C-alpha cells in the first residue's frame, strides 16, 4: 500500500561547504520539519540516488513525531543539487563521511549552544548505510551527538561480488532521454530490486532524478564519474573493505534496525544473520517481494521505520 502524503511544508534546500583534497565543494541537503528541533534524523540515499528519495518517509516522520523533529536528506556530493568533484577518485566513502561530519557540525552551529542537539538518528539505504556504519562505528569521532538509532536499509559490512559487478555494468553509463517518462522507464529497468512501486510514486521519484539535457531532452542528475571507482573495484579490494567494515560494525553502540529485501543480491541471509549476533546485534526485518533495496515509500515500510525511530 502506498503511504498517504501528510500535510507538510515542502523541504528547504540548504548547502554546506565541505573540504576535499583539491579545495572545497558544496553539498546540498533538504531539510524537513522544525529547523530548531533538537531531534534530528539524517536520511542518506544509495549510490546513484539523491535526497528526495526520502520525501514520503520524511513527511511521515515529521507528521507522526510527538516532539519537534527535523529530517535532513543530503544529496551526496556528485548527485542532485550538490557540486561535482574534479577527481573521480574522491567519489568514495571516506569523502562522503567527511562531508557528513561537516553537515552535522553546521546543524550543531545552527541550533546554537543554548539549544544543543539531543537525539541524532540515521537512516541509510545501501551506500547511505555504509556511511552511517563508518560514522557510528568510530566512537572517537566528535559528532554533534552520538548516533542513537541506526537504520541500515539492505546493506551490511559484506557486499556480494555479483552485486558489485551488476553496479559496474550501469553506474554512470547513461544517456539523454526524450522526456521524464522515457527516463523513468530506463531507470526502472535497473531498479527491479526496489520491489513493487506504484507507477505514480515511481514517476514522482523519477522527477527528482533528472536535470535538463540538450534540445529539450533530460538526463540523469549525477556525475557519470561516480562510476569510475566502482569499475576500479576488484575482489581483493572488496575483501579488504569488508574486513574494515566488520571492525567498524562491531564498535557500533547505536540501537540498530537492519532491513533486508528477501531477494536482495547485495545483502545475503548469512551476513544479515551475523549482524544480529555481533556488534549492535541488529533487529532484523526481512521483507518478502523486495530485493535491493526497498524504497521506504510504502505505508507499511514507513510504519516500521517510524516505530523504530519515534518509539521509546
Instruction: Go through the domains of the chain in sequence order and give each one's CATH number.
Output: 12-84+91-125+137-310 (3.40.50.1820)
Residues 6+ apart with CB under 8 A from 17: 24, 25, 26, 102
Tell me what the mean pLDDT of segment 259-273 comes to. 97
| pLDDT for the residue numbered 8 | 56
| pLDDT for the residue numbered 43 | 99
**Which residues are registered as beta bridge partners of 211?**
219
Tell me what the mean pLDDT of segment 207-216 comes to. 95
Q: What are phi and psi of 311, to 5 degrees?
A: -75, 170
Give the Cα separation of 58 and 62 in Å (integer).
Answer: 6
Instruction: Write down the mean pLDDT value for the chain.
Output: 95
Cα 187 to Cα 18, 237, 307, distances in angstroms: 30, 28, 31
Give the helix/strand (H/E) hosting 129. helix 127-136
| pLDDT for the residue numbered 99 | 98
With CA atoms as reference, report the closest residue to 227 among 180, 291, 165. Answer: 165
> Does residue 256 have a pLDDT over 80?
yes
Tell the burial category of 66 from Cβ atoms under 10 Å away from its Cβ (0-12, 13-18, 19+): exposed
| pLDDT for the residue numbered 10 | 86
Largest interatomic CA distance in the chain: 55
With CA atoms as reference, report the closest residue to 107 among 143, 134, 76. Answer: 143
> Does residue 4 have a pLDDT over 90?
no
> Does residue 2 have a pLDDT over 70?
no
pTM for the model stands at 0.96
Tell me what the mean pLDDT of segment 44-48 comes to. 98
Residue 9 is placed in which grid cell?
A: 511544508
Tell me what the mean pLDDT of segment 231-253 comes to. 96
Residue 56 is placed in which grid cell?
A: 514520503
Which stretch of 28-37, 191-200, 276-285 has the lowest confidence by average pLDDT? 191-200
Which stretch of 86-90, 105-109, 141-145, 158-162 has the lowest confidence by average pLDDT? 141-145
| pLDDT for the residue numbered 312 | 75
Task: Tell me the pLDDT band of 9, cut-offs 50, 70 and 90.
Answer: confident
> Does residue 281 have a pLDDT over 90?
yes
Tell the burial category of 160 from Cβ atoms under 10 Å away from its Cβ (0-12, 13-18, 19+): middle
Tell me what the mean pLDDT of segment 26-34 comes to. 98
213, 163, 234, 101: CA torsion to nearest 10:
70
Amino acid at each position: 500500500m502506498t503511504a498517504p502524503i501528510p500535510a507538510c511544508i515542502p523541504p528547504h534546500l540548504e548547502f554546506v561547504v565541505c573540504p576535499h583534497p583539491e579545495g572545497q565543494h558544496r553539498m546540498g541537503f533538504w531539510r524537513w520539519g522544525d529547523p530548531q528541533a533538537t531531534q534530528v534524523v539524517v536520511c542518506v540515499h544509495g549510490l546513484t540516488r539523491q535526497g528526495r528519495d526520502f520525501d514520503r518517509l520524511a513527511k511521515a516522520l515529521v507528521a507522526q513525531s510527538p516532539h519537534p523533529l527535523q529530517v535532513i536528506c543530503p544529496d551526496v556530493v556528485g548527485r542532485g543539487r550538490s557540486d561535482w568533484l574534479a577527481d573521480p577518485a574522491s567519489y568514495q566513502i571516506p569523502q562522503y563521511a567527511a562531508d557528513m561530519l561537516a553537515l552535522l557540525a553546521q546543524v550543531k552551529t545552527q541550533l546554537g549552544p543554548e539549544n544543543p542537539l539531543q537525539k541524532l538518528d540515521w537512516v541509510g539505504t545501501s551506500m547511505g548505510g555504509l556511511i552511517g556504519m563508518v560514522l557510528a562505528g568510530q566512537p572517537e569521532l566528535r559528532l554533534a551527538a552520538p548516533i542513537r538509532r541506526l537504520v541500515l536499509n539492505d546493506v551490511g559490512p559484506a557486499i556480494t561480488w555479483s552485486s558489485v559487478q551488476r553496479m559496474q555494468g550501469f553506474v554512470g553509463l547513461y544517456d539523454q532521454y526524450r522526456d521524464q517518462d522515457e527516463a523513468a522507464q530506463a531507470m526502472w529497468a535497473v531498479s527491479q530490486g526496489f520491489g513493487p512501486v506504484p507507477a505514480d510514486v515511481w514517476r514522482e521519484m523519477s522527477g527528482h532524478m533528472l536535470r535538463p539535457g540538450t534540445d529539450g531532452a533530460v538526463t540523469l542528475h549525477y556525475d557519470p564519474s561516480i562510476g569510475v571507482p566502482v569499475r576500479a573495484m576488484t575482489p581483493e579490494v572488496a575483501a579488504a573493505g569488508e574486513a574494515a567494515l566488520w571492525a567498524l560494525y562491531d564498535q557500533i553502540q547505536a540501537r540498530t534496525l537492519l532491513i533486508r529485501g528477501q531477494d536482495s543480491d547485495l545483502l545475503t541471509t548469512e551476513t544479515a544473520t551475523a549482524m544480529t549476533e555481533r556488534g549492535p546485534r541488529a533487529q532484523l526485518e526481512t521483507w518478502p517481494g523486495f530485493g535491493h533495496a526497498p524504497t521506504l515509500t510504502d505505508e507499511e515500510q514507513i510504519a516500521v521505520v517510524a516505530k523504530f525511530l519515534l518509539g521509546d
